[in-house]
A and B are shown apart, each in its own frame.
Chain A
Amino acid sequence: MRELKSVSDQDVFGAATKESLYRSVTPSLKVLATDTITFNFTSSGNFGFEVPHNLGYIPVCRVFWQLVPSLPDRWYPDSNLTDNLDTATDVNTGDFALANINTTHLQMYLAGVAGFTYKCRYYIFEDRAVL
């Protein structure tokens, strides 16, 4: 039980909620879909794409972007300006990566530069963004 409900060295009965791995009485996020998408930009510009979820409600989601091809370990969350991060390989100054979600689709848009490859990793959770 200790390993189920609390982190190491925390009493499962006395641990605060933030120290618990799981609590049966607290709503927690469950991943419905996740994927990593690679974009090879053959020409500079904006590119949009959609992932259907068809849940019928707005779910919690997160999106992480690999926006600087020379720094593959650097992932930026959700909607981001990318100015001046890496002028050699970053997307153009003033450009962006962003994500929108509605009751049926996750939409993502990315501005990229010809000759570079970018990645996006998204998570759609089963849980409503509001109960």
Chain B
Amino acid sequence: MKGVQISKPGYDVLTAEAINQYVQPDTPIFKVALTDSGVISFISSDTVKLVVIQHNLGYVPHFAVFAEVEPSSGFARLVNASQVSLLSDFVSVTAAITQTQLAIQMTKIGSTPDPTGDYDYLYQIYHDEAEQV
């Protein structure tokens, strides 16, 4: 075994499984480059809201986006794949990333329910590359 391993408290560093190690020499760890949160405010006449975050990493990184689909609900939906909108949702949310920007788009689903309100969103952009070009 080469390199250094760091185990979680209470685990033997020589025998602990990967999940109980903070660092393993042969396991990449996602490293946070940017993280922040914000609020998207919808008024009744809004149909689409777009938030663009500049990351300027120069490559497509891994990322994670969470957003409320009901105002002030406290539940954040994972929106990193084809977005699903349930009839009970107030809005749908999609996210996409390029070599320079992360875009989060919130769209009104229909006439009801009224989407008026504040929607929290959170995101993390990682140093780790999503695709090797």
Q: Interface residues, chain A, CB within 8 Å of chain B? A: 1-4, 7, 17-18, 20-23, 26-31, 34, 58, 60-63, 76-81, 96-103, 107, 127-131
CA distance A101 to B76 in the complex (A): 5
Q: A62-B78, A96-B86, A129-B66 are in contact. Are A30 and B22 (CB under 8 A)?
A: yes
Are B76 and A100 within 8 A (Cβ)? yes
Give B12-24 as 1s and 0s: 1 = Cβ < 8 Å from A's Cβ atoms. 0000000100110
> Which of B25, B32, B61, B78 has its CB near the most chain A CB atoms (within 10 A)?
B78
Size bracket, chain B contacts:
35 or more
Are A77 and B25 within 8 A (Cβ)? no
CA distance A103 to B75 in the complex (A): 8
Are A28 and B77 within 8 A (Cβ)? no
Q: Contacts of B123 on A, CB cut-off 8 Å?
A: 129-130
Closest to A76 in B: B81
